[in-house]
Amino acid sequence: MKKIAIINQKGGTGKTTTAVNLGGGLALRGYKTLLVDVDPQGSLATWFDPEYERSLYDMLVEDETPDSCTVEVRENLYLLPSDKTAAQAEKILTGQTSRETMLMRRMSDVDNYDIIILDCPPSLSLLNQNALIYAKKAYLPVSMDYLALVGVRNLLENIRQINKILDRDVRVSLVIPTFYDKRTNESKEIYDTLKEHFDGKVTEPIRTNVRLSESSSYNKTIFEYAPNSHGAEDYSTLVERVIENG
């Protein structure tokens, strides 16, 4: 079972869009996929808008089982939702020993998926540390602007700290350029910088595509909303890459 934390401390780099469409694309190809919303913004729950009774909070704080907090949102696609109560969960966890490994321990028996994708908040939070330690593998969506590169540097430093202080082995396994526009020098330069720094781990870019931003307000993946769009093409390419060697 593959586990992936989709993470970048910078806001708005395409983390949630990537979680939705990577998950949606894998599910369409027959992979049983669980999306875990680690973000108290509840972006995944907003995107799919399912009815649910329990959320990440109940799993982390009330000792509810992961299964009882999970809803099916599509064939092969499941969601463990979050909402603002996750921020409360984080506060409660802060006072506990082994606070960084709570998610890992609560989810230790979950083995009935082909892949688990965690959508992380744009922060250096305890919830993010939990997600990284559980998944061990991180995918970094990086938007094509210079501030995003600074965000990447900070995240790498934080991962180093987690590995050192908590004796873990968290690795960045893919870097996903997002909001790519081939007409701008900034896109090209940042893409090249990423390729220099993350030899072999940088995927084909996800182009800026208005269909991607529209799809969330229709509660659809890009494959449902605009299957012939650039967005669908780019996320299909990413799905293939993840199946092959992500």
Ligand X SMILES: Nc1ncnc2c1ncn2[C@@H]1O[C@H](COP(=O)(O)OP(=O)(O)OP(=O)(O)O)[C@@H](O)[C@H]1O
Residues near Mg ion, by CB under 5 A: 15-16, 43
Asked if 11 is part of the footprint of ligand X (rule: CB under 6 A), the reply reads: yes
Q: How far is the CB of 28 from ligand X (least distance, A)?
A: 19
Mind spelling out the 3-state secondary structure of the chain?
A: CEEEEECCCCCCCCHHHHHHHHHHHHHHCCCCEEEEECCCCCHHHHHHCCCCCCCHHHHHCCCCCCHHHCEEEECCEEEECCCCHHHHHHHHHHCCCCHHHHHHHHCCCCCCCCEEEEECCCCCCHHHHHHHHHHCEEEEEEECCHHHHHHHHHHHHHHHHHHHHCCCCCEEEEEEEECECCCCHHHHHHHHHHHHHCCCCECCCCECCHHHHHHHHCCCCHHHHCCCCHHHHHHHHHHHHHHHHC
How do strand 33-37 and strand 171-178 relate by DSSP bridges?
Answer: unpaired
Closest CB to ligand X among 110 and 125? 125
Closest CB to ligand X among 64 and 224? 224
Closest CB to Mg ion among 15 and 207? 15
Q: How far is the CB of 95 from Mg ion (least distance, A)?
A: 27
Q: How far is the CB of 37 from Mg ion (least distance, A)?
A: 9
Q: How far is the CB of 100 from ligand X (least distance, A)?
A: 21
Which window, 9-17, 59-67, 104-112, 184-192, contacts ligand X (CB under 6 A)? 9-17
Q: Which tokens belong to 34?
A: 């669980």
Closest CB to Mg ion among 33 and 43? 43
Asked if 108 is part of the footprint of ligand X (rule: CB under 6 A), the reply reads: no
Please count the residues of this chain forming the interface with ligand X, following the rule CB under 6 A.
18
The rounded distance, in Å, linking the Cα atoms of 90 and 125 is 8
Q: How far is the CB of 208 from Mg ion (least distance, A)?
A: 17
Using CB under 6 A as the binding rule, the residues of this chain from 113 to 152 that contact ligand X are 122
Asked if 178 is part of the footprint of ligand X (rule: CB under 6 A), the reply reads: yes
Q: How far is the CB of 140 from ligand X (least distance, A)?
A: 10
Q: Indicate which of ligand X, Mg ion, none lies near residue 168 (CB less than 5 to 8 Å, by partner kind).
A: none
Using CB under 6 A as the binding rule, the residues of this chain from 190 to 209 that contact ligand X are 206, 208-209
Asked if 179 is part of the footprint of ligand X (rule: CB under 6 A), the reply reads: yes
Give residues in contact with ligand X (CB under 6 A): 11-17, 39, 43, 122, 178-179, 206, 208-209, 212-213, 216
